[in-house]
Structure 1
Amino acid sequence: MHSPWILCFLFMSRVAVTPVWGQLDPLATLPVCAQKCLASSFANSICDPLKDMSCRCNNGTQQLIAINCFSTSCTARETLTTLNVTTVMCEVPVRDRSGLYRTVNSVLFTLSTVAILGRFYSHFALGRLQLLDDGNMALILVLNILMFTLTTMMSFTGLGQDIWKVSFKNIRLTLLYFWISVPFYGIEFGLGKIAFGLFYLRIFNDSGFRKLVWFVIVFTLLYTIAFAFLGTFVCSPVSYFWWQWDLGGEHKGKCLNNNTIGFVTASFSIFTDLVMLGLPIPQIWALHLSTKKKVGVLFMFSIGFFLSDDFLDTSLWSLIEIYVGIICVCMPSLKLGIQFFCPKILHSVMSTSRYTGSGRTGGNIAIHRSVQVTIGSYPTKPQTEEQGSTVELVEIVGDAKSTPIHERSQCETNNVEQGYLPG
């Protein structure tokens, strides 16, 4: 039996063996083991598969029996050579999705990179850079570039094609690039989840909630490191990962069970996705926002949460999940930048809201101060009941001594509100 290389690679690659037809019958070029498999598989058929093309190409049941025989009786190279010859003889359509893969990959990489750069610009221009949060996003940007480079190279060496239509050399190269990308993918994916946690720390000040967020961040970091380690040393020696497909070759080694590792890492990933998605729900629901706005905010957080059961498109969906997660975590900062520098695009600023509180007096309490609404990394100054409380997934960095509104620039004034909240 072949090792699990088929499971992780067959669905997205193909290996080309270019036969030299000349004046020979193509079937005569088949390995002896393949010819024996064809003969035995069609033993109960009324036709000869080695002579009757219609018999060989139109009998699906016997074809499956023959393919199973190839995989157990022939080497990997012999099996792929046989599949290449027989699919050409039977005029099976050539499948190549590498172009679609590159297009989707390029578009989403560009959008996610622009989102990260826009986030950096907004934070820098508004003086909101934070070492931990923005440093984490800088690492994500570097890993994003590396992942895009590797996956693009894979699309030119076999990713998205039938494995029997790719050269033996390119099978090895594609598996090598895949092995390199596994730890990068795991780390980038983990840092993306951590970015959500760091964002929560920016906007929520409840001490109990912050401790819970830090616990989830540390847990995510630890399992991310473990995943990257397993992905790197899944085979012994590590080079066996990109040589294991050639079972008839001289390379020897062993690998951990890919299915078990995949199930465990996927379970941890889905668990942390659900936790990260669920963490802010109680905090958001406690805000004095309309139900429509609460649902909108929750939807923004959930955009980065993707699950796909389409095994054929696992590689592409894995990239989409990362790219969309990056864009999602950058959305609040991008909105802040647009709101501050180009307020006319949004027409209005985010309406002020507040946490539900206790000990309020009756009547209306005026907020006699200028409040600049922004996403910041500075601690919120304690407020009295007379000052009110203003929170909408952002921090308040103004106080009673803020510059009067009439002295601010027109662009900045659009980001300032004076309001009245019912007591």
Structure 2
Amino acid sequence: LSCLLNAVTTQSNCSLTDPACACSNQAVQGTAALCVAHSCTIPDALTTVNLTNTLCGIKSEHDRGYIIVIYTFVALAFILVALRFIARMTKRNPLWWDDYSILVSITITIGFTAISNSLQVDTLGVGLDIWAVPQENLQTIFILLWSALMCYITSRCFVRISISLFLMRIFRVSGARPLILLTLVLNILITIAFTFCLIFQCTPVHYFWHRWDGLHEGFCIDQWAVFLVGGILSTTLDVFLVLLPARWIFQLQFSLAKKITTAGMFSLGIIVIVTSVMRVVSLYTFTHSENVTKDLPKIVIWGGLELYVATICACLPSLRPLMK
């Protein structure tokens, strides 16, 4: 508050009872911001910005549209998983490991969705500018973000396991099994390594949700480097899983129409690759942002879409019995 009062008295002729004058004066705003940056702790700086914006009538805008997107695609994912099991029961085929893997994945996805639902403006203030978010909520927000990252990477791993096991079940041509097993093993190893990096990206671990205030001691590795490497490896695996069946589909004892339909279903994995790339882009914005609560919904949107679309794509090839 002293920074703001000092800026008003030294940089303008505005009266202290005329906030409109001070709010429209760029010199006052610039001097106050510089003073706050050099003199205040991060919590005090956020309080000052929030107070200034309140006095100036500036409201923090937020967008609720991402919640509708999340709910729509999670509903589609659940419907497709249910139809997958209905298709298996229709043909009276016993469940196999690919079915159990997708069941584990969708269960973990429920956790991700629950966390996403908690990260709303009405509950914690996510989507608002960070200075407009109640400071007592910030630690909770970062704990939930950390938990959501764990859910995301575990769920994606089990989706890929399900797809790999499905490919192993239907493609029995020469040379298929070793390539599928290689993909399966790489997926698990990359997931373990990436999970380890995410858990211990900060030392101590709890510094991840304490560091926002600048008052705690700790160290974090380069977040963007971790997310970039993880994103590249994840996308590479997805590309490989999309291309892997292409050489074997037309060796199946299917009619040409069935072969084309099957190829089309697998090619939908391209959508997963697109959402994966967009997630990495949103992570770049987030890791380089000073207004993280404003940019956090983008991670929720693209991470959620990637999970739900991957689940949908993993289930579509299993629905052929229902399409007859």
TM bucket normalised to smaller = 0.7 to 0.9
Contact 2:88/2:94, CA 8 A, preserved across alignment = yes
Contact 1:157/1:170, CA 8 A, preserved across alignment = yes
| 2-structure distance, mates of 1:58, 1:323 | 48
**Bigger-Rg structure (1/2):** 1
Pick the structure with more helix per residue: 2
How far 1:323 moved relative to its partner?
0.6
Match among 16, 22, 44 for residue 78 of structure 1: 44
Contact 2:265/2:313, CA 8 A, preserved across alignment = no
Match among 108, 114, 125 for residue 149 of structure 1: 114
Contact 1:84/1:165, CA 8 A, preserved across alignment = yes
CA-based RMSD of the aligned residues comes to: 3.0
How far 1:91 moved relative to its partner?
2.5
Match among 156, 170, 173 for residue 140 of structure 2: 173
Q: Do structure 1's residue 160 and structure 2's residue 133 form an aligned pair?
A: no
* Corresponding position of 1:321: 306
Contact 1:80/1:164, CA 8 A, preserved across alignment = yes
Deviation digits for residues 30-55 of structure 1 (CA, Å, limit 9, x no counterpart): 2x45666x57xx98x77669767446
How far 1:65 moved relative to its partner?
7.7
Consecutive unaligned residues in structure 2, runs of 5 or more: 286-294
* Corresponding position of 1:256: 221
How far 1:210 moved relative to its partner?
2.1
| 1-structure distance, mates of 2:129, 2:144 | 18
How far 1:186 moved relative to its partner?
0.8
| 2-structure distance, mates of 1:194, 1:49 | 67
Q: Do structure 1's residue 201 and structure 2's residue 168 form an aligned pair?
A: yes
Distance 1:238 1:49, change over 3 A: farther
- Give the letter aligned to residue 262 of structure 1: F
How far 1:285 moved relative to its partner?
5.7
Where does 1:94-173 land on structure 2 (aligned, <5 Å)?
94-97=60-63, 99-155=64-120, 156-173=123-140
| 1-structure distance, mates of 2:47, 2:28 | 19
Distance 1:65 1:190, change over 3 A: farther
Runs of 4+ in structure 1 deviating by more than 6 angstroms, as ranges, are 45-52
* Corresponding position of 1:299: 267
- Residue identity (%): 27
Contact 1:304/1:321, CA 8 A, preserved across alignment = yes
Deviation digits for residues 165-211 of structure 1 (CA, Å, limit 9, x no counterpart): 11111111111111122111111112222222222222222231221
- Give the letter aligned to residue 271 of structure 2: I
| 2-structure distance, mates of 1:152, 1:275 | 32
- Give the letter aligned to residue 267 of structure 2: F
Match among 249, 253, 257 for residue 284 of structure 1: 249
Where does 1:355-394 land on structure 2 (aligned, <5 Å)?
none
* Corresponding position of 2:55: 89
The DSSP-based 3-state class of the residue aligned with 1:92 is: coil
Contact 1:101/1:160, CA 8 A, preserved across alignment = no
